[in-house]
Amino acid sequence: MTDDSLSGRTQELHRHLEATAELPIDRTANRWLGEAEAVAADVATSDLERETVLERVAKVQHLLGEVDETDHEGADDHLEAAEEICAKILEDEGSTPP
Protein backbone atom coordinates (compact mmCIF):
# COMPACT_ATOMS: atom_id res chain seq x y z
CA MET A 1 0.00 0.00 0.00
CA THR A 2 1.63 3.20 -1.10
CA ASP A 3 -0.92 5.92 -0.29
CA ASP A 4 -0.03 7.40 3.13
CA SER A 5 -3.55 8.76 3.51
CA LEU A 6 -5.07 5.31 2.98
CA SER A 7 -2.50 3.77 5.30
CA GLY A 8 -3.29 6.30 8.03
CA ARG A 9 -7.01 5.69 7.72
CA THR A 10 -6.65 1.92 7.90
CA GLN A 11 -4.50 2.31 11.01
CA GLU A 12 -7.15 4.57 12.55
CA LEU A 13 -9.81 1.99 11.68
CA HIS A 14 -7.80 -0.70 13.43
CA ARG A 15 -7.26 1.48 16.53
CA HIS A 16 -11.00 2.01 16.93
CA LEU A 17 -11.76 -1.68 16.66
CA GLU A 18 -8.85 -2.65 18.88
CA ALA A 19 -10.19 -0.29 21.55
CA THR A 20 -13.37 -2.37 21.84
CA ALA A 21 -11.49 -5.58 22.66
CA GLU A 22 -11.28 -5.05 26.42
CA LEU A 23 -14.68 -3.43 26.90
CA PRO A 24 -17.55 -5.31 28.53
CA ILE A 25 -19.83 -5.62 25.52
CA ASP A 26 -22.56 -7.92 24.28
CA ARG A 27 -21.14 -11.36 23.46
CA THR A 28 -22.55 -11.49 19.94
CA ALA A 29 -21.32 -7.98 19.19
CA ASN A 30 -17.92 -8.94 20.60
CA ARG A 31 -17.67 -11.81 18.13
CA TRP A 32 -18.40 -9.56 15.12
CA LEU A 33 -16.12 -6.80 16.39
CA GLY A 34 -13.32 -9.29 17.06
CA GLU A 35 -13.49 -10.65 13.54
CA ALA A 36 -13.61 -7.11 12.10
CA GLU A 37 -10.63 -6.12 14.26
CA ALA A 38 -8.60 -9.08 12.98
CA VAL A 39 -9.24 -8.12 9.35
CA ALA A 40 -8.52 -4.45 10.12
CA ALA A 41 -5.26 -5.41 11.85
CA ASP A 42 -4.15 -7.29 8.74
CA VAL A 43 -4.99 -4.31 6.54
CA ALA A 44 -3.25 -1.84 8.85
CA THR A 45 -0.05 -3.85 9.28
CA SER A 46 0.47 -5.55 5.92
CA ASP A 47 1.81 -4.16 2.68
CA LEU A 48 -1.17 -4.99 0.48
CA GLU A 49 -2.26 -3.96 -2.97
CA ARG A 50 -4.82 -1.15 -3.01
CA GLU A 51 -7.56 -3.42 -4.38
CA THR A 52 -6.95 -5.95 -1.62
CA VAL A 53 -7.14 -3.20 0.99
CA LEU A 54 -10.47 -2.04 -0.42
CA GLU A 55 -11.85 -5.59 -0.46
CA ARG A 56 -10.86 -6.11 3.17
CA VAL A 57 -12.22 -2.75 4.27
CA ALA A 58 -15.51 -3.73 2.59
CA LYS A 59 -15.36 -6.99 4.61
CA VAL A 60 -14.84 -5.00 7.82
CA GLN A 61 -17.78 -2.79 6.89
CA HIS A 62 -19.95 -5.88 6.37
CA LEU A 63 -18.91 -7.36 9.71
CA LEU A 64 -19.63 -4.11 11.52
CA GLY A 65 -23.05 -4.04 9.90
CA GLU A 66 -23.84 -7.29 11.72
CA VAL A 67 -23.52 -5.59 15.12
CA ASP A 68 -26.92 -4.65 16.51
CA GLU A 69 -25.97 -3.43 19.98
CA THR A 70 -22.81 -3.44 22.06
CA ASP A 71 -24.44 -2.50 25.36
CA HIS A 72 -21.53 -0.13 26.01
CA GLU A 73 -21.49 3.58 25.16
CA GLY A 74 -17.74 3.71 24.54
CA ALA A 75 -17.87 0.70 22.25
CA ASP A 76 -20.78 2.28 20.39
CA ASP A 77 -18.63 5.38 19.79
CA HIS A 78 -15.76 3.29 18.44
CA LEU A 79 -18.15 1.27 16.29
CA GLU A 80 -19.67 4.42 14.81
CA ALA A 81 -16.22 5.88 14.10
CA ALA A 82 -15.08 2.63 12.47
CA GLU A 83 -18.18 2.51 10.28
CA GLU A 84 -17.56 6.11 9.19
CA ILE A 85 -13.92 5.37 8.36
CA CYS A 86 -14.90 2.33 6.28
CA ALA A 87 -17.48 4.33 4.37
CA LYS A 88 -15.04 7.18 3.76
CA ILE A 89 -12.26 4.86 2.56
CA LEU A 90 -14.58 3.04 0.18
CA GLU A 91 -16.12 6.27 -1.05
CA ASP A 92 -12.81 8.07 -1.60
CA GLU A 93 -10.63 5.19 -2.75
CA GLY A 94 -13.20 3.08 -4.54
CA SER A 95 -13.98 5.80 -7.06
CA THR A 96 -10.42 6.37 -8.20
CA PRO A 97 -8.53 4.07 -10.57
CA PRO A 98 -5.79 1.87 -9.04
Distance, CA of 28 to CA of 13 (rounded, Å): 20
What was the pLDDT predicted at 93?
86
**H or E, element range at 22:** none
Evaluate whether 63 touches 83 at the Cβ level (below 8 Å).
no
Q: Tens digits of per-residue pLDDT, 31-76?
A: 999 999 999 999 999 999 999 999 999 999 999 999 999 999 999 9
Q: Is the pTM of the predicted complex or chain greater than 0.95?
A: no
Distance, CA of 49 to CA of 30 (rounded, Å): 29
Every domain of the chain and the residues it spans: 4-92
